[in-house]
Structure 1
Amino acid sequence: MDARADERIGLPVAPTLGWRGALRPVARVAGIAARDRFALVGTLIYLALVLTAIFADQIATHDPGEILYTGRYRIARNLPPSWDHLLGTTHGGRDIFSQLVHGTRSAVIVGLSAAVCVAAIGTLLGLVSGYFRGWVDTIVMRLADVVLGLPFLPFVIVLAALTRPGTGTIVFAVAVLLWPNTARVIRSQVLTVRERSFVEAARITGCSTARILFVHVAPSILPLSFLYGSIAVGWAILTEASASFLGFGDPTVISWGGMLQDAYANQAMGRGAYYWFIPPGICIVLVVLAGFFISRGYEEILFPRLRS
């Protein structure tokens, strides 16, 4: 039986999702960001981060790994901010501003990769758990309880120590530890969506389980996936910075955490070189705040009663 036959005999028809229907959750997310100040500020911070990462080569004034020299052929150590070096230089003679700009690339790669993994794993397991219920739901939720009991930063440090430190390790650790939060919320939403009339109509018309899950149920919970993915960006960048500061990051990659570790090792605070460690610290704080602002602006998705 097709949808037209179902409509003629009076059965509820599941909404058909063409390309416009697939873009509906994206439009809803963008609409909230446009009218809520918190969500707008968080989105603008993420946008500025991405644009800086894309055009880092054009924005940076020097090669971040190049050792600079003065006119007397001495290493340009600990130079204060000037027009030639906007944020001064490190003890090793490298330009701090260029390192700060190129550090956004590492932040964007780690943040977006972790966000996609967290959203994908949490959404898939939440869909399966909420739709099938029973023993499947029990296994997924007990696994989520175990993962939620793992200490976050110690787990990342141990994993980095046992494997090769790098971006992949950080992304894997964040994805493993943060998916339960997404899965739990997605599951609770799926438990209500699966009982709606258009899902029942899809079952009656003979739609496969996969089609019901990914065509009829998934679009209803995609805004939640986007929300938790955006929150995971800040957590991933903060985790990468923490691991790099503790010496468990990739030493070949310029990152904000690596800059802080370098400043700490060379006693930047004792030298009064606040221009060395304050800028990367501010960038990390802004990214984490952006995740908070977005979650604050999208509270009406998490708590629909707030719309009134």
Structure 2
Amino acid sequence: MSTAATSIRSPLAMAWQRRGRAFAQFCREFSHERAGMVGLVFLLVIVVLALLAPLLAPASMLDVTQVIDNPRFAPPSWEHPLGTDHQGRELWVRMLWGARVSLLVGFAATAMSMILGTIVGLAAGHFRGWAGGALMRVIDFFLVLPSLILAIVLASVLSRGVWTIVIAIGLTSWAGTARVVRAQTLSVEARDYVERSRVLGAGHGHIIVKHLLPAVLPLVLANTTLTVGSAIIAESTLSFLGLGDTTQQSWGAVLKNSMDVSAATSGYWWYVVVPGLAIVLVVLAFTLVGRAVETIVNPTLRSR
């Protein structure tokens, strides 16, 4: 009995061992990507600061009634590191709390987009005939449809809130991932081991889960890191247009407030530069990490 159990467990143990070695190899290769490491360290710092926001800057510091004595539109100084806004609130406090919402929307919308894109892409590449053709037409429709306009429509129709923005971004940004996954699926489908599984009687579920999904996951991972930056930009855009949750702090909401008080033309440059620069740096960091991951998982780029 023990021998039989060992023989059953050993393939699983070997599979996990291979995955562990592959992950260790990936980490070693990623550590040699200087740009990717810079982006990763910067993102880790931002995430830690966002998680520690309630400790570093209590929510009471966002209460307008608690900062009556603070000067409005105070420029950056030792007393006010990033300046104050039109209500006397410290800008660095709003940026810390805004990072929580912006990163949450970025990660959640990207997860939704990746899941939808992976499922539809796998199905479109694996199933042939009318089913695959119909899924491909759906992908093409969402690719040619302006995603920002559709996100604005969804955010306007649904009740305002953080999760409304997540749904709006997730439902409009999955088509690109689906196209990439479908192309990779078609390539894997033509390999010998998939043909052998099909000849031996393997069903659609076995082929998709055991062969196709592991083959497309590296590309999905690389695309995920790139999509997070786009999701953060989309969230900032929707908040800037006034479609976000007005009760929550976000970097787009800070930009919207600066526009409402004409900060750019009134000389309150810090009110515009600080949130704008934060968005640019975080998106750039995600792009650096994504390009590094793509270089590692894509043999063509790695050979170059």
Q: Which runs of 5+ in 2 are unaligned?
A: 1-10
Task: Give the alignment's Cα RMSD to 1 decimal.
Answer: 2.6
1:108 and 2:100 aligned: no
- When you count helix as a share of all residues, which structure comes out higher? 2
**Offset from partner CA, 1:36-92 (integer Å, 9 cap, x none):** 22322332333223222211123337735222667xx64532223334432122111
Distance, in Å, in 1 between the alignment partners of 2:156 and 2:208 is: 39
- The residue number in structure 1 matching 2:224 is 229
Distance, in Å, in 1 between the alignment partners of 2:167 and 2:296 is: 27
Q: Quick one: which amino acid aligns to residue 102 of structure 1?
A: W
- The residue number in structure 2 matching 1:91 is 86
Q: Is the partner of 1:253 in helix, strand or coil? A: coil
Q: 2:135 aligns with which of 133, 140, 160?
A: 140
- The residue number in structure 1 matching 2:16 is 19
* 8 A Cα contact 1:244 1:261, kept in partner: yes
Distance, in Å, in 1 between the alignment partners of 2:114 and 2:186 is: 18
Distance apart, 1:25 and its partner CA: 6.5
1:177 and 2:172 aligned: yes
* 8 A Cα contact 1:28 1:223, kept in partner: no
Q: 1:212 aligns with which of 183, 207, 210?
A: 207
Q: Is the partner of 2:60 in helix, strand or coil? A: coil
Distance, in Å, in 2 between the alignment partners of 1:29 and 1:112 is: 22
* 8 A Cα contact 2:225 2:287, kept in partner: no
Q: Quick one: which amino acid aligns to residue 92 of structure 2?
A: F
- The residue number in structure 2 matching 1:251 is 246
- The residue number in structure 1 matching 2:51 is 54
Distance, in Å, in 2 between the alignment partners of 1:54 and 1:301 is: 30
- The residue number in structure 2 matching 1:10 is none
Range with greater deviation from structure 2 (105-114 or 262-271): 262-271
* 8 A Cα contact 2:222 2:294, kept in partner: no
Distance, in Å, in 1 between the alignment partners of 2:26 and 2:137 is: 31
Distance apart, 1:193 and its partner CA: 1.2
Q: Quick one: which amino acid aligns to residue 34 of structure 1?
A: S
Range with greater deviation from structure 2 (43-52 or 143-152): 43-52
Distance, in Å, in 1 between the alignment partners of 2:81 and 2:286 is: 28
Distance apart, 1:177 and its partner CA: 1.9
TM-score by length of 1: 0.85
Distance apart, 1:207 and its partner CA: 3.4
Q: Quick one: which amino acid aligns to residue 277 of structure 1?
A: V
Q: Is the partner of 1:207 in helix, strand or coil? A: coil
Distance, in Å, in 2 between the alignment partners of 1:213 and 1:31 is: 29
* 8 A Cα contact 2:218 2:297, kept in partner: no
Range with greater deviation from structure 2 (186-195 or 270-279): 270-279
- The residue number in structure 2 matching 1:239 is 234
Range with greater deviation from structure 2 (244-253 or 288-297): 288-297
- The residue number in structure 1 matching 2:37 is 40
Distance, in Å, in 1 between the alignment partners of 2:166 and 2:22 is: 26
Distance, in Å, in 2 between the alignment partners of 1:283 and 1:158 is: 27
Map 1:181-200 → 2, pairs under 5 A? 181-200=176-195
Distance, in Å, in 2 between the alignment partners of 1:281 and 1:52 is: 18
What is the number of equivalent residue pairs in this alignment? Answer: 293
* 8 A Cα contact 1:123 1:225, kept in partner: yes
- The residue number in structure 2 matching 1:161 is 156
Q: Which runs of 5+ in 1 are unaligned?
A: 1-13
* 8 A Cα contact 1:43 1:294, kept in partner: yes
Q: 2:145 aligns with which of 145, 150, 153?
A: 150
Q: 2:275 aligns with which of 271, 274, 280?
A: 280
Return closer, same or farther for 1:185/1:120 CA change in 2, 3 Å cut-off. Answer: same
Q: Quick one: which amino acid aligns to residue 118 of structure 1?
A: S
